[in-house]
Structure 1
Amino acid sequence: MIDSTFLHLIYNTALLLMLVFIFDVFVIRWHHASTLKLQIPTGIILGLIGIILIETHWTLENGVMFDARSILISISGLYFGFVPTLVAMIITSLFRLSEGGIGTFTGILTIITSGFLGIGWRHYRKRDFPEYSLAELYIFGLILHAAIMLLMFTLPNKEAITTIKGVAFPILLIYPVGTALLGMFMTNRLQREKLVRKIREDETKLKIIADHTTDWDYWLSPKGEFIYCSGSCLQVTGYADSDFYADSELLERIIYADDKEKMINHLKRDCSKGPAQLEIRFVHQGGDIRWGNHSCLPIYDNEGKFIGTRGTVRNITEQKESEIKIRDKNKEISQILSMTENSRRALLSVVEDQKIIQEELALLNAELEQRVEDRTALLTAANRELEAFSYSVSHDLRAPLRGISGFTEILMNEYSHKLGEEGEHLCSVIRDNTIKMAKLIEDLLSFSRLSRKELQKSEIDIKSMFRSMYFEITSPEEREKIELRIGDLENCYGDTSMMRLVVANLLSNAIKYSSGKKRQIISVFGKREDHKLVYFVKDNGVGFDMKYKDKLFGVFQRLHSASEFEGTGVGLANVQRIIHRHEGDVGAESTLGEGATFWFSLPDHLDQAIQIK
C-alpha cells in the first residue's frame, strides 16, 4: 500500500510540475494580454491537468480515490487568480462527479475547498503576482490539507476512519511540503522573470540615453574591436553605428590628416593607466572638417582585470570656431591698442606742434588783421574814387554827348539845305552813335551800381511781375504779333527792383530775337528742383550755337551783330550779376534756328523766409 502511494505521488508530482510551464507561458509572459482571452484557456488547461491527476489516483481498500488535485487547485488559486481557478474547479468537479464512487461528494468538496482557500489567501495578500516565502507556503499547505483531513468526516464513519488512517501520513506530511516546494518553484521563476525584465528595461533606458545624447559613446575591446557604439555617432561623424561595428579601423581613418598621428598614439597608449583626453579634428562623412573632444577611460571587471576602453567623442566645432574668432579678435584688439598707443604718442607730438602753430597763427592773424584794415582803407578809397569816376562819367561824359547830339540836330533842322544828302546822312550817323554811346554809358553805370547796391529782399509775385513788365516793354502793335504764355510760378524772395531788371532783360531778349517770326511765342514756366525755384523764358526765335554759350553772360559779348539785333551786350551780364547776388544761377539752352530757353534759379523761398526772420 505504501509503495503504491509513493508511486502515485511521483506521477502526480510530474503532472504538477507542468504548472510551472503554464505559469511561465500564460501568466508571466502574457500577463499584458486580454484577461478573459487568456484566463479561460488557462483554466481549461489547469482543469485538464486536474483530470489527469484524478485519472492517476490511487484507490484505497474501501474504494475511496485519492490524488494531488488539492495541490493543483490551491496553487492555481494562489498564482493564477480567480477566473482560471474557477474554470479548473468546474472542470475537475464535473469530471469527479462523472467518476462516481463512495467519495464523490468528499472529492468535490476537496476541489472547492482547495480553490477558494487559494483564492482567498491570494486576495488577503492583495497581490496580482504574489511572491510567497517558503514558510508561508508551508503553513498554507498545512492549513489546506488539515482542512481536507476534516472533510474526510463527510464519508460514512467506517470509511472515514479507514481513509484517514490510509492517507493521513502523505497528506499531512508530504502534501504541505510539496505545496511549499511547488510554490517556491513558481515564485523563483517569477522573481527571475522580473529580474530579466528589469535588466531589459534598464538596458533599454541606457540605450535610449546613450542614443539620444549629443556625445558619441563607444566601448572597445582590448583588441580594439567595437563592443558597443551609440547611435549618436551618426550625428557626430555622419557614419552609422553599423559602419563602426563592421570596420573598427574607421575610427582612425576619419581623423584629419594633420591630427592622425596624434590620434593613433592616443589610441595605442595604455588606457589602463588612467583616463586621457585629446582635442582632434575629424572629417565628417559630408566632407567638412569638425572638431571633437576625445576622452578615453579604462574599464575593469569585478576582479580588476582590464576588459576594454570606454571612449567618448563630443562635437566641439562651434566652441573651437568661437575660440578661433576670439583669438583673432584679441590679436586685432592688440594691434588696435598698439596703434592707439602710437596714435597717442603722435597726437602728443601733434599737440606740441599745434601749440607752436597756434602761436605762429596768432602772430599771422595779428598781421592779417592789420593787412585787412589796410586793404579795407584802400578799398574804401577805391570805392570813393569809383563813385567819383561814376559821377564824372555820368555828368562830364554825357554832357558833351548831349552837346554833340543837340548841335547835330540843329544842323539837320536849320542847315539841311546847305548840307546836301550826303551831309544829312553823316549828321544822322553822328546822332545815332551819340545815342548809342549814351545808352552804353548808362548800361555801364547800371552794371557798376549793381555790385554796390544793398539787397532789400521781400516776397515777390513773380508771375505778376512777368505780366506787368511785358506790358511795360511792348507796344499794342507789338503785342498783336506776340503770344505770351505764363504758367504757374511760385513766389520767390529777392530784391524787387533788381528782379524787375532780370525779368525785363529776359523778356526783351526773347521778344527781340524772335521778332523775325510771323507769330512770336514767348513761354514762361517754372519748377521746384533740389530746394531751388527754377524759372524759364522760352522763345521761338533765331536761337544760338551752343558752343558759344559761355560768352552769353559776359560784358559786351554778343553772338549777333548790331545790324541784325540792336543792343549793348550788357543786359545778360546784369542778369547774371543780380542772380549771383541772390545766391542763384543762370543758364541757357538752344538749337540754332529753333529758339532759345534762358533760365535762372533762386533758393527756395522757405529757406529765404527763415533767413529773413
Structure 2
Amino acid sequence: QRLRHDTEEALSCGFHILYRIDCRRRGFDYVSPTGSDMLAARVETLTADGGLDLVHRHIPPNDLARIRSAVAARTNATDQQAHDLELEYRLRGADGRVRWLRDSMRIFRADDGTLTHITGAIMEVTDTRMAAERLRVTLHSIGDAVIATDATGRITLFNPQAAALSGWSEAEALGRSAAEVVVLHQSAHHTPVRCPVDRVLNQRDAIALPDTVSLRNRHGTLIPVAERAYPILADDGRAAGAVVVLRDERAARESLTRLHESEARYRTLVESSPVGIFHFDHDLRITFINNRLAEIVDASADELIGTDLLAIADQSMMPAIRAALAGQLGRYEGPYRTAYSALDIRIGIRTAPVRDAAGNVKGGVGIVEDNTAKYEAERKLRESETRYALAMRGTNEGLWDWNPLNKELFLSSRLMALLGDPAASIRTTSDAWLSRLHPEDRDAYYTRMVSHLKGETEYFEFEFRIADHDGDYRWFRSRGVAQRDDQGKAYRMVGSIGDITARMRAQLELNNELGFSRTLVDSLPVGLCVARRDGSLTLLNQFFGRLTGLPTRQPHTLSTHDLIAPEDHALVDQRIERAFSEGIAWTETRVPAADGTLVPVHFLARRVTLYDTEQLLCIATDISERKQAEIKMRDLNRELELRVEDRTAQLAAAVTELEAFSYSVSHDLRSPLRAIDGYARIIREDYHTTFTEDAHQLFERMLAAVSRMSELIDDLLELSRVSRRPLERAPVDLSSMAGNIIAELKQRHPGRAVAASIEPGIHVVADAKLLRIAVENLLGNAWKFTAKCTSPQLRFSRQQDGDETVFCVEDNGAGFDMRYSDKLFGAFQRLHTDRDFEGTGIGLATVARIIQRHGGRVWANSEIDQGACFF
C-alpha cells in the first residue's frame, strides 16, 4: 500500500497514466489518478463495469478500430509469452480538447493461452505530433522548394514547390537519386555543376552555391535559383541525410530593389533570430551578440560585447571556437553552464571562420541553439525540427496557424515583425485579422479561403493589403493548406505570409513608367516605330496611326513596307541594313497617307538594343512644309535675281549720274570760284591803298566765303568717294590709328594741351582708308569742340554690349542738345554756328556712311556743356 501510494503520488506530478485491464471482465481494475483527471471521471467510475466503454467513447472510431486490430494481432500469436505493443491515438478529454497519446502496453496470457490482462503506461505526445505536422504543413506551404534525402542521396521529402520548380511530381521524385532530379548548371556557360547532395553527404557541412547557378528542370528549361544544402547529422556525427533548399530567383534578379529588401530582411532575421548568434575576433573578443544568445547565457548584449569569449564559453565549447580561428567549421553539441547562471543547459553550437579581403581569418561567427527541451524529445523529432529550422532559415516569411472551428488564429513573431509590431507571437481571431485587411480585399480573401476550406483548391493563395502597426497598408502574399479529418472537413489550417510591398510598388511604378512612356511616344509630333531586322514592327506611335490609318495597338501585324511608298521600299531596306551595320542611317522617302496622298518625310533609323535583341528606332519627320518652302524659296530666288538685276541696272545709272555730278562739281564749280578768288586778290593788292576799312572787311569776307565754298566741294567729293569705292577689308590696329591721329592734331595745334586716353589693343577687320576717315572726323570733332574747355579731355575706348562690340569717342567739350540728335548725321546739318565752331556739316554724314558700309551703326549721347560720346 505504501509503494502504491508513493507511485501514485509521483505519477500525479507527471504526465503518465498507468492502467490495468482485466480481460475476463472486460474492464479496468486499476487507473492512476491522472487518468481520471483527464477524463473528468472518478477512479471508481472507470474501474466499475462500463468504465472501459466510457474511455472508448472518447476515442475516435477509426483510432479505436486501429487499436483493436493491433491488439487482436498480438493475441493471435501461438506462444504464451507476454507481448509489448505501442500505439498512438487520439483521445477527446472532458474539456473537449483532443490529445495525442502514446500507449505502451503489455499483453499477458494464462498457461492455456487465454488472455488475462493488459497493463499500460500512457504519455501525452500532442506537442510532438503537432510539431511534426506543423513541419509537414509548413514545408508544403512555404514558397521555396525543399528536398530532403537519406544517407544514400535518395529523395525522402519533396514539397509542392520543388515539384513546380523541377517539373517532377512528388510521386515520381520520391526514392530517386537527388542527382537525377536536382540538375544544376552554371548560368553563364551552361556547364554542369556537381549535385550539392553528394558534397554535403561527403563533407558533412552546409554549402551555398553561387548566384550564377541555374536548375535545369525536367522539361529542359534553365531556371536561375539560389541554393543551399545542409547535412542532417546523426548523434554519432554521421551524415544521416541532406536538406536542399531551392529558391526561384527569376523575380529576384529582375528587381534590384527586391534584393536590397531581402538583405534588410536578413539583417532583421539575424537580430530577431530564435537562435543565438555571435561574432568574435582573433583575440577571442566578442564583437556582436544577438538578443537570443544574451537570453541563453542570462546576460545582456551590451554587457557581453567587447568582453572575452571565455566569459560565456566553457572548455567544452573551445574546440569549436578554435576550429573557426583555424579556418575550419566548428561544431559542438552537449551540456553547457554559463558563467552568469548556475543552470545547466544543453546547447548546439556551429562556428565558421570570418575572413578579410585578403582571405586571412580575422575572427569567427557562431550560432547557438538552446537544445535543452529538444534533447528530451525523440531522435526522429530532432531530425524533423532540424529540417524545419534549416528550411525556414532560407526564407523570410511569417507563419500562421488557424483553427476554423473556434476561429482561433496563431501569428508568429516573424509575421508580427513584418507588420511592424515588436510583440512576440500572439493568438487572436480570424475576425480580428480580417478586419485589418483593406476593405477592397476582404471579400476576395474570404472567398478564396472558403473555396479552399470546401476542398475546391489544393492550396490557399492570395495577395492582399493589410494595415501594419502604424495603420499603413502594405502588400502581403499568403499561402496555406488545410488539415482535414477522415470526412474531409478542415479542422486546422497552417500557412506562411511574406511582405511583397516593394514588389507591388515596383510593379506600379513600372506600369506608370510604361504608361507615361507610351503617352510620351504617342504625343510626339513625329512618326516613331521600332523594327526588327526582318522589318517587322514592335512599336508604332499615334502619329503614324493618324497619318496612315494603321492600327497602332497591333504593330506585330505590320512591317516597315506598310509605312513606305512601294517605289521607295528598296531604298529604305538599304538604309535599314546600313543602320544595323553602322549604327545609324537616314534618307528622305514618302509615306502613303490614309487619304491616298504621299507625304514626304525625313526617315532616320538608329540601332538600339531592346530585350537583348538588336532593333531599329525609326523616326519619320513630316517635311511637307519644308518641301513647299523649298519650292517657294526657288520661286523667290528667281524673283530676287530679277529684282537684283533691275536694281543693279538702276544703281549703275545712279553711279554714272553721281560720277557726272562729281565731275561737274570738281570742274564746273571750281572754275568760277578760282576766278572770283583770283580777281578779288588782284583788286585787293592793286587798290588796297584806296580802300576804306569797310572795303577791306568786305574783301576778306568774300575770300573767306570762297574758301568755305571750296571746302564744301571737297567734303561733298569725299562723301561721294566714300559711297562709291569698294571695301578692302584687312586687319586694322584702331588703337595705333587713333594715336597717330591725336599726334597729328597736336602737331597742327601745338598751343593746346589736350589730355587724350586711348585704350590699347583694339583691333578690327575693316577698310583701313575709310576707317581712318571716320576716326579722323570723330577725333577731330572732339578736339575742335573742347577748344573752349579749361581742361580738355578726350578718350577712345571699347566696350562689349551682348554680342556687339561698341567703340566710343568721348570728350568733355561743348556737347549738343539731344532734341536735335536726329539731324546729327545728315549732310549740311550743323548744331553750332560758324562763329562758335567752324565746319561744313559733312563730316558726321561721311562717318555714318562709312560705318553703315561696314555693316555697323553709329549714334551719339550728349548734354550741353557736358561733352559728347559718339558710339
Is the pair's TM-score, using the shorter chain for normalization, greater than 0.5? yes
SS in 1 for 2:724: coil
Residue range with higher mean Cα deviation, 416-425 or 370-379: 416-425
CA distance in 2, matches of 1:320, 1:439: 89
Counterpart in the other structure of 1:238: 420
CA distance in 2, matches of 1:130, 1:418: 156
What are the superposed Cα offsets for residues 212-244 of structure 1, whole Å, 9 maximum, x if unpaired? x1x454333214432243515534x43456586
Q: CA deviation at 1:394?
A: 2.1
SS in 1 for 2:414: coil
Counterpart in the other structure of 1:138: none
Structure 1 residues 584-603: aligned runs within 5 Å: 584-599=856-871
Q: Flag the 1:407–1:229 CA change in 2: closer, same or farther, 3 A.
A: farther
Counterpart in the other structure of 1:225: 408
What are the superposed Cα offsets for residues 318-372 of structure 1, whole Å, 9 maximum, x if unpaired? 2233123324433544555112443564981887787777666655544543343
What are the superposed Cα offsets for residues 126-158 of structure 1, whole Å, 9 maximum, x if unpaired? x99799xxxxxxxxxxxxxxxxxxxxxxxxxxx
Q: CA deviation at 1:576?
A: 3.0
Letter of the 1:396 counterpart? D
Q: CA deviation at 1:515?
A: 0.8
Residue range with higher mean Cα deviation, 368-377 or 340-349: 340-349
Structure 1 residues 175-186: aligned runs within 5 Å: none
SS in 1 for 2:756: strand
What are the superposed Cα offsets for residues 63-90 of structure 1, whole Å, 9 maximum, x if unpaired? xxxxxxxxxxxxxxxxxxxxxxxxxxxx
What are the superposed Cα offsets for residues 396-429 of structure 1, whole Å, 9 maximum, x if unpaired? 2233333334444445444556664444444444
Counterpart in the other structure of 1:149: none
SS in 2 for 1:538: strand
Letter of the 1:375 counterpart? R
Identity among equivalent pairs (%): 30
Q: CA deviation at 1:459?
A: 3.3
Counterpart in the other structure of 1:339: 543
Check if 1:348 corresponds to 2:348: no
SS in 2 for 1:342: helix
Q: CA deviation at 1:377?
A: 2.2
Gaps of 5+ in 2: 8-233, 239-373, 525-540, 548-590, 601-621
Counterpart in the other structure of 1:502: 774
Selected match of 1:457 from 709, 729, 733: 729
Counterpart in the other structure of 1:521: 793
Q: CA deviation at 1:522?
A: 2.7
Counterpart in the other structure of 2:123: none
Counterpart in the other structure of 2:437: 255
Counterpart in the other structure of 1:24: none
Check if 1:563 corresponds to 2:848: no
Q: Flag the 1:468–1:303 CA change in 2: closer, same or farther, 3 A.
A: same
What are the superposed Cα offsets for residues 547-569 of structure 1, whole Å, 9 maximum, x if unpaired? 65554434344343333222223
Selected match of 1:298 from 469, 482, 492: 482
Q: Is the 8 A contact 1:481 1:518 kept in 2?
A: no
Q: CA deviation at 1:541?
A: 1.6
TM-score norm. by structure 1 comes to 0.57
CA distance in 2, matches of 1:327, 1:492: 58
Q: Is the 8 A contact 2:410 2:428 kept in 1?
A: no
Selected match of 1:385 from 643, 657, 672: 657
Q: Flag the 1:513–1:360 CA change in 2: closer, same or farther, 3 A.
A: closer
SS in 1 for 2:869: strand
CA distance in 2, matches of 1:286, 1:529: 63
Structure 1 residues 193-204: aligned runs within 5 Å: 194-195=379-380, 197-202=382-387, 204=389
CA distance in 2, matches of 1:299, 1:565: 121
Q: Flag the 1:480–1:490 CA change in 2: closer, same or farther, 3 A.
A: same
Q: CA deviation at 1:286?
A: 4.8
CA distance in 2, matches of 1:385, 1:512: 35
Structure 1 residues 106-121: aligned runs within 5 Å: none
Q: Flag the 1:536–1:490 CA change in 2: closer, same or farther, 3 A.
A: same
Larger relative contact order, structure 1 or 2 (CA cutoff 8 Å, min sep 6) = 1
What are the superposed Cα offsets for residues 7-47 of structure 1, whole Å, 9 maximum, x if unpaired? xxx9xxx9xxxxxxxxxxxxxxxxxxxxxxxxxxxxxxxxx
Check if 1:553 corresponds to 2:553: no
Q: Flag the 1:200–1:547 CA change in 2: closer, same or farther, 3 A.
A: farther
Gaps of 5+ in 1: 1-9, 15-126, 132-188, 600-613
TM-score norm. by structure 2 comes to 0.41
Counterpart in the other structure of 2:309: none
CA distance in 1, matches of 2:803, 2:711: 38
Q: CA deviation at 1:533?
A: 5.9
CA distance in 2, matches of 1:190, 1:364: 103
SS in 2 for 1:460: strand
CA distance in 2, matches of 1:475, 1:536: 24
What are the superposed Cα offsets for residues 413-448 of structure 1, whole Å, 9 maximum, x if unpaired? 445566644444444444333332332232222222
Check if 1:273 corresponds to 2:461: no
CA distance in 2, matches of 1:533, 1:320: 57
Check if 1:320 corresponds to 2:571: no
Counterpart in the other structure of 1:486: 758
Q: Flag the 1:392–1:284 CA change in 2: closer, same or farther, 3 A.
A: farther
Which is richer in helix?
1
SS in 2 for 1:231: helix
Counterpart in the other structure of 1:20: none
Q: Flag the 1:128–1:389 CA change in 2: closer, same or farther, 3 A.
A: closer
CA distance in 2, matches of 1:352, 1:415: 89
Structure 1 residues 525-544: aligned runs within 5 Å: 525-526=797-798, 535-544=807-816
Q: Is the 8 A contact 1:291 1:320 kept in 2?
A: no
Q: CA deviation at 1:470?
A: 2.1
Larger radius of gyration: 1
CA distance in 2, matches of 1:130, 1:424: 147
Q: CA deviation at 1:500?
A: 1.8
Q: Flag the 1:493–1:358 CA change in 2: closer, same or farther, 3 A.
A: closer
CA distance in 2, matches of 1:248, 1:240: 20
Q: CA deviation at 1:395?
A: 1.8
Q: Is the 8 A contact 1:254 1:282 kept in 2?
A: yes
Q: Is the 8 A contact 2:794 2:810 kept in 1?
A: yes
Across the two proteins, how many residue pairs are aligned to each other? 415
Q: CA deviation at 1:508?
A: 0.9
Structure 1 residues 85-164: aligned runs within 5 Å: none
Q: Is the 8 A contact 1:216 1:314 kept in 2?
A: no
CA distance in 1, matches of 2:509, 2:424: 30
Counterpart in the other structure of 2:493: 308
CA distance in 2, matches of 1:370, 1:351: 29
Q: CA deviation at 1:504?
A: 1.3
CA distance in 1, matches of 2:759, 2:636: 55
Which is richer in strand?
2
Q: CA deviation at 1:260?
A: 4.2
Q: Flag the 1:552–1:375 CA change in 2: closer, same or farther, 3 A.
A: closer
Residue range with higher mean Cα deviation, 511-520 or 410-419: 410-419
Q: Is the 8 A contact 1:505 1:571 kept in 2?
A: yes
Letter of the 1:234 counterpart? A
Q: Is the 8 A contact 1:229 1:244 kept in 2?
A: yes
Counterpart in the other structure of 1:330: 518
Residue range with higher mean Cα deviation, 446-455 or 533-542: 533-542
CA distance in 1, matches of 2:800, 2:521: 51
Q: Flag the 1:265–1:421 CA change in 2: closer, same or farther, 3 A.
A: farther
